Amino acid sequence: MKDRWKFLDKKKIFSDNILDISHHHWEFTAKGVSTPFTSIDTNDWVVIIPELQNGKIALVRQFRPIVNEWTLEFPGGAINRGESHFDAAKRELEEETSLISDQLILLSTMRPNPAIMSNRCYVYLATNCKPDGRYNFDPFEDITVIDYTKSEVESLIRNGEITHSVVLGAYACYKLFGVSNG
């Protein structure tokens, strides 16, 4: 089916330190039409589901200025240029929660929004987490770590208190593929 699509060209229309916005011009040869598709190109991401030694799951509560809301999320962030997704997962877990883990397990790789975004998000489970690390917040991170039981996390999802799509996707991966302490 891909043979019905012909790539024409790509033009960058915006760039800053976080992302590039480009127009990818494609022709759909089956219908003889072409159009630019807008893409947001940014670093790949990691998201980490931290299971604590007591079986609870750590979430981070942080303010998101774009939506003017406090959100509940799993720790995560962008993978630095030249950094492996595994190393980024270890780094983000410690930076945002002060937790370290003796085992990080890659559960899945997902596309956050392939209609407009080119990046991937690597979903990790961190087991047996303990607070032996050091916080290292980015300049505009305002984070509180809160521990929840798995049933509490599921209630937060059902009640619409967790709305971040990457977090919801990561939790689905956790339920499908996760290795749990109980």
Number of structural domains, the chain?
A: 2
Distance of alpha carbon 88 from alpha carbon 79, whole angstroms: 6
4-10 contacts, C-beta under 8 A, 24 or more apart: 4/28, 4/29, 4/30, 5/29, 8/34
3-state secondary structure of 52: strand
Same structural domain, 62 and 11: no
Domain that holds residue 146: 43-177
Residues 36 and 62 in one domain: no
Compute the chain's Rg from CA coordinates: 19
Q: Does residue 182 sit within a domain? A: no
Asked if residue 93 belongs to a domain, the reply is yes
Residues 6+ apart with CB under 8 A from 96: 60, 75, 76, 77, 135, 137, 141, 143, 145
Q: By CB neighbour count within 10 A (0-12 exposed, 13-18 middle, 19+ buried), where does 137 fall?
A: exposed
Q: What is the pLDDT along the chain (182 residues), one digit of tens a residue?
A: 679 999 999 999 999 999 999 999 999 999 999 999 999 999 999 999 999 999 999 999 999 999 999 999 999 999 999 999 999 999 999 999 999 998 999 999 999 999 999 999 999 999 999 999 899 998 888 999 999 999 999 999 999 999 999 999 999 999 999 765 44
Pair 138, 97 in one domain: yes
Query: In this structure, is residue 144 part of a structural domain?
Result: yes
